[in-house]
Amino acid sequence: MTLSRRIYPGAVIGIIGGGQLGKMLAQSALRMGYKVAVLDPSEDAPAKATSDLFINAAFDDEAALKQLGDASDIITYEFENIDGPLLKRMVDEYYVPQGAETLLTLQNRETEKDAVRNSGAKVVPFEKVSGDGDVKAFAEQEGWPVIVKTATGGYDGKGQYLVESEDDLEKEPIPYGDTQFIAEKYLDLEREVSLTVARSADGKTIVFPLQENLHRNQILYRTIAPSRIDRQKDAEAEVEKIMNKLHFAGVFTVEFFIDKSGELYVNEIAPRPHNSAHHTIESCNISQFDAHILALTNQPMPEIRQHKRAVMMNLLGQDLDRLGDALYDHPEWHVHLYGKSARKPERKMGHMTILTDDVEDTLEKLKTDFEKEG
């Protein structure tokens, strides 16, 4: 484990990844007086606009990563699919308070779920599968439906197969040879929630209010904070167990499922800022991005207070198409656009946060504004 030290404003924070998370991290860092270096393969990455040094290179370009390391006093990432051995070498050579071990564990759903289960926190029953026979055997034990997920590289529901029965396995073959897969019991969900926590390099933690997440096509669609059902303490207890087993520094988010009987399960962990905590920019005393910078640079962190309830919605390509200029008719909406040049359906182009005293009313209004045509 890396020794903690305080990094003062003026220092350079190097960020691997320059998407919207990198951009919002950089905005917090710049505001606090740090300088920012960013590495991203895309020429017009959102965080290019918020960096003092922008290195346009692939995530597996070792020379470019070294250039980032040499230019920075501290390294972090906004992106979790970094090549493991390369990240290990970065950890050996540079100050990377998050280390490599946790990221390596979380990069693979099987090792991730194993680690969570071994910590004593509850996970949905799962099994590694490498053929239809394994899936059937798993279903015989746990019951249908089953969800088969790629163990690596999946996000926003990519690489997932919902299997209702044996017949489905024939209808939609799973490409077992391409990568590793796990089968998981498919739950009848009551709710999905997430807990965002920041842990400083010397081990202090602060916790944001439990967030309630609504998904559509397996992409986060709305976040309501705080969650309309209060499981804050239960979620904190699960995170505590995980923190006793895995090293965390900076901000991370644990996603949970709640089933119809009220059972709380850990789904997955993102060791970086998370879409469901974007509302913290406007609704809390410090944002998840501020918290990440404070935690990594080992500065004191305030206890989190939320000023007002928040509803966050993602702005996907199709939402911008549908809304057009109407997006600007609502001064009460906090609209964030990430500055991505290509607008594509289902691509996260931005998000917006609405602070409200009446969550149900706000959700209803968003429905009328965004769903009149579809």
- Minimum distance, C-beta of residue 222 to ligand ADP, in the bound complex (Å): 13
Tokens of 271: 């060791």
- Minimum distance, C-beta of residue 253 to ligand ADP, in the bound complex (Å): 11
Contact window for ligand ADP (CB under 6 A) among 82-90, 151-159, 293-301, 336-344: 151-159
Site string for ligand ADP, 49-88 (x = CB under 6 A): ----------------------------------------
Question: Closest Cα partner for 14 from 97, 74, 91, 64?
Answer: 74
- Minimum distance, C-beta of residue 3 to ligand ADP, in the bound complex (Å): 33
d(CA 369, CA 330): 11
- Minimum distance, C-beta of residue 272 to ligand ADP, in the bound complex (Å): 13
d(CA 263, CA 97): 34
- Minimum distance, C-beta of residue 155 to ligand ADP, in the bound complex (Å): 5
- Minimum distance, C-beta of residue 215 to ligand ADP, in the bound complex (Å): 4
Site string for ligand ADP, 160-199 (x = CB under 6 A): ------------------------xxxx-x--x-------
Residue 229 lies near ligand ADP (rule: CB under 6 A): no
Site string for ligand ADP, 259-298 (x = CB under 6 A): --------xx------------------------------
d(CA 217, CA 219): 5
d(CA 267, CA 194): 9
Q: What contacts 85, CB < 8 A, 6 or more positions away?
A: none
Radius of gyration of the chain (CA): 21
Q: What stretches of 1-120 adopt beta strand conformation (E)?
A: 12-16, 35-40, 53-56, 74-77
Tokens of 237: 């207890």
Asked whether 61 and 83 are in contact (CB, 8 A), the reply is no
Sole binder of ligand ADP in the list 78, 255, 290, 319 (CB under 6 A): 255
Q: How far is CA 103 from CA 61, 107, 167, 291, 325, in A?
A: 19, 6, 37, 19, 41
- Minimum distance, C-beta of residue 292 to ligand ADP, in the bound complex (Å): 20
Q: How far is CA 117 from CA 146, 191, 195, 346, in A?
A: 19, 21, 18, 33
Tokens 């996260």 correspond to 348
Eight-class DSSP state of 195: E
Task: Give strand pairing partners of 13.
Answer: 36, 74
d(CA 343, CA 335): 16
Site string for ligand ADP, 335-364 (x = CB under 6 A): ------------------------------
Question: Closest Cα partner for 250 from 13, 23, 62, 57?
Answer: 13
Sole binder of ligand ADP in the list 83, 156, 168, 236 (CB under 6 A): 156
Contact window for ligand ADP (CB under 6 A) among 95-103, 150-158, 222-230, 305-313: 150-158
Residue 215 lies near ligand ADP (rule: CB under 6 A): yes
Tokens 């706000």 correspond to 362
Sole binder of ligand ADP in the list 41, 84, 125, 157 (CB under 6 A): 157
- Minimum distance, C-beta of residue 171 to ligand ADP, in the bound complex (Å): 20
Residue 118 lies near ligand ADP (rule: CB under 6 A): no
Nearest residue (CB) to ligand ADP, 21 versus 187 = 187
Contact window for ligand ADP (CB under 6 A) among 37-45, 147-155, 229-237, 339-347: 147-155
**Is there a cis peptide before residue 145, judged by omega within 30 degrees of 0?**
yes
- Minimum distance, C-beta of residue 337 to ligand ADP, in the bound complex (Å): 23
List residues binding ligand ADP (CB under 6 A).
124, 147, 149, 154-157, 184-187, 189, 192, 215, 218, 255, 267-268
